[in-house]
Structure 1
Amino acid sequence: MSAVPEMSPDVAQEDKGPAILAICSTLTALATLFVAARLYVRVNILSRAGLDDWLIVISMICVYVTLGLTVAAVSSGNGRHFPLLTTEQKSGAILYTIAGFCPGVFSFGIPKLAVVALLTRITNPTRKHRIFLWTMTIGCLVLLFGCVIILFAQCSPSRSQWDFSVQGTCWSPWVLIYYSIVAGGLSATTDFYLAIYPAVVLYSLQINLKKKLALGFALGLGSVAGGVAIYKCTRLPGLASQDFSYDTSDITIWTSIEGNSIIIGACIPTLQPLFDRFIAKGFFSSNDPQSNKKSTGYGSHTLATPKIELATIGSGARRTTKSYKKMGISDMTMGQDSEESILNSERNENSEEHVLENHNGILRTQHVAVEYGA
């Protein structure tokens, strides 16, 4: 072993381990709360858990595994300067850091599939667009998993990376770095697309600006993960550093940030029922109590329009056939507006009507109250 290089006392005492544990554990706890709230809404309130919910649960399991391996890596010396570690600490820091990359990749790759499952259900895109969305996200996940394959295949035998008693031959570490940068760029691009697509759909909905911005914000939080992925790419050269345990600390931190942020972003759009129940009931509703009051010659005529909910964006507002096709939304979403069918029927004018539509498992209720003055 080479002699330990001279370092100033300040440099020798540098330790990112506490910061790694604090950031990763805090974000994991926060993501756990959002996932628990999501499952409460889908199971207890809506009584329907979907594919996207199971994918989020799998993603959260990956986050827990990553956190466990991160704790083991820090206990072995990860976060401290590599030359100051003992041989046993160096071996443990490398082993647990490398092992944590695999579930770490899945922690921010699988949630993209959950986002697509949610978007295809609420926006009901055309068949071609649905195929494109799934192909893009699955291809991104496969490309990201390629980083793990290269990580373990770059040395032969693979254990020579962390077991200093084993002699092996390795590729240049820049093979993994360049590949990871490309994969990270595609991951960021996917996140941005999945954030922009629902915003484009929302743009054509006939709801007021406040609610449109709120819905767009809830569905567009995946862009945060895209920004994190871009920044993490700038830290990847640390994989080739001689000070491995110290310089890869940032990669560990930003991997946790990326995984937890996309999980949180995928959960927020599903929490509207919880938000309405405990915080601001009807905030996302498209109806305006004042604007919906229309006077007639016979008295007051009040129409309560349906709520545009995060679970029914694809069927909750009027759009023209042309605008639907521009957005890639299929004709299945376009049907006769239930308000028009109510107004065109000349029956039950003195009673309250409940119109229920069941479209692809989505239930929508309209209440129409007609009052006549004396």
Structure 2
Amino acid sequence: MEDKGPLIIAACWAFTGLSLLFVAARLFVRLAVYNKLMSDDYWIILSTICAVCSNSLVILSVHWGNGQHWDTLDQEHQQEVMRWMIVAYVPGIETLGFPKLAVVCLLSRLLAPGKLHLRILWALSIGCVISLTVTVMTLLLQCSPPSAAWNFDLPRDCIKPKVIEGLAFWASSWSAFLDFYLAIYPAVVLWRLQMSMKKKIGLTIALGMGVISGCVGIVKTTGIPTFLSEDVSYELCEPLYWTSIEGNLIIIAACIPILGPLLEMFKGRPIWRTDKSSSNRQYEDYSKQSTQKQQDAIELRSKHRKKVDAYGFTIHAKDESEEAIVHPDKRSASEEWRLQSGGVGAPPQPSPPASPSTSTPPPRRDVP
């Protein structure tokens, strides 16, 4: 293929369009069903903006000859290809990091990791974003002045390509490793809980889609040595669209666990039903309950449901008791009991005392 330009545009926008559909579905669930956005939604929105901006800049680079062989371009086209290729990498690389912050926000609420593990999760994700940002800034400011990276008429004092290659390899490897970790961690936790096999598999798949983006990250990382290529416009376009594909796959993987209510809707089940007397009610806005404020739900549920927590999990213990995956700062009484005693079941909860306004008065006895 002598011109990879059409392939670049098709690959970038195909996956970006798909991720836009998932993001739109995610925002529909959060706004139409839960009536609010949460912190992870804003990270996803920021990631989507970066993906769209990067693809728009990719179109400009292709317009000037990106994807064609370097020696077939005149100096003006070579300079413009370098300019827009470098600028397109800036938001494109950031799409690899921001969605991971959204995933950590979600997992910290769903799985309630311990304080040490929670700090490790945040350290890994923030460190990944920092490493990607350092790579972006190094790429953007590799020359002094920065415009000398694409203006060949200026005197050039630039960083060696091997330095940029090393940073890119480090950041991409960290990103791919974190994709695998954030996908495997919930699978390990869920597999150890007492819940139906069907639900284990469903939740593991929903929370483990990051494995796909991790595999793409490995494929992309193997192409990073092309930073040393002399055929810049033809060789360096491959990491460009692989970066777009990986970033959009991470966005999609971060959106899938939130889309449970849409699955219920496609099955013909009402997701806005609020009749609490129905035993087959499929969805309830638990975020409005006083005991579980500021929480969202994952709706991967069976038709006949028992008592669930704020995220829609019903976990059946061996003694037919239930345990919930709850917010680390708002544990239920059964969760506190399990943490103190080390048991897997929950103690029976005492029934609340009858309200004086609704209790039946004792029968009146007439004194003769």
TM tier, shorter chain?
Answer: 0.7 to 0.9
> 1:140, 1:183 within 8 Å by CA — same for their partners in 2?
yes
Percent identity of equivalent pairs: 39
Q: Confirm or deny that 1:194 pairs with 2:182.
A: yes
Q: Confirm or deny that 1:153 pairs with 2:141.
A: yes
Alpha-carbon distance between aligned partners in 2 of 1:114 and 1:83, rounded to the nearest angstrom = 43
Alpha-carbon distance between aligned partners in 1 of 2:186 and 2:193, rounded to the nearest angstrom = 11
Report the equivalent of 2:52: 64
Report the equivalent of 1:14: 2
Report the equivalent of 1:284: 300
Q: Confirm or deny that 1:211 pairs with 2:199.
A: yes
Distance change >3 Å, CA 334–CA 125, structure 1 → 2: farther
* Equivalent in 78, 94, 100 of residue 88 of structure 2: 100
* Equivalent in 267, 272, 275 of residue 260 of structure 2: 272
> 1:286, 1:306 within 8 Å by CA — same for their partners in 2?
no
Matches within 5 A, 1:81-92: 81-92=69-80
3-state SS in 2 of match to 1:155: coil
Q: Confirm or deny that 1:232 pairs with 2:200.
A: no
> Unpaired runs of 5+ in structure 1?
1-12, 290-303, 321-326, 349-374
> Unpaired runs of 5+ in structure 2?
270-281, 283-298, 319-324, 336-344, 355-368
Give the TM-score, by structure 2 length.
0.78
Distance change >3 Å, CA 279–CA 286, structure 1 → 2: closer
Q: Confirm or deny that 1:250 pairs with 2:238.
A: yes
Matches within 5 A, 1:90-129: 90-129=78-117
Alpha-carbon distance between aligned partners in 2 of 1:149 and 1:111, rounded to the nearest angstrom = 20
Q: In the comparison of the two structures, how many residue pairs are matched?
A: 311
Alpha-carbon distance between aligned partners in 1 of 2:317 and 2:170, rounded to the nearest angstrom = 38
Residue 76 of structure 1 aligns with an amino acid whose one-letter code is W
Distance change >3 Å, CA 163–CA 38, structure 1 → 2: same
Give the TM-score, by structure 1 length.
0.77
Residue 247 of structure 1 aligns with an amino acid whose one-letter code is E
> 1:285, 1:307 within 8 Å by CA — same for their partners in 2?
no
Report the equivalent of 1:354: none
> 1:77, 1:245 within 8 Å by CA — same for their partners in 2?
yes
CA RMSD of aligned residues (A): 2.7
* Equivalent in 180, 183, 186 of residue 168 of structure 2: 180
The offset of 1:105, in angstroms, is 1.3
Alpha-carbon distance between aligned partners in 1 of 2:13 and 2:49, rounded to the nearest angstrom = 14
Q: 1:136-161 CA deviation, whole Å, 9 max, x = no partner?
A: 10011001111112213332222112
> 1:286, 1:307 within 8 Å by CA — same for their partners in 2?
no
The offset of 1:234, in angstroms, is 0.8
The offset of 1:340, in angstroms, is 6.3
3-state SS in 2 of match to 1:143: helix
> 1:208, 1:286 within 8 Å by CA — same for their partners in 2?
no
Residue 277 of structure 1 aligns with an amino acid whose one-letter code is M
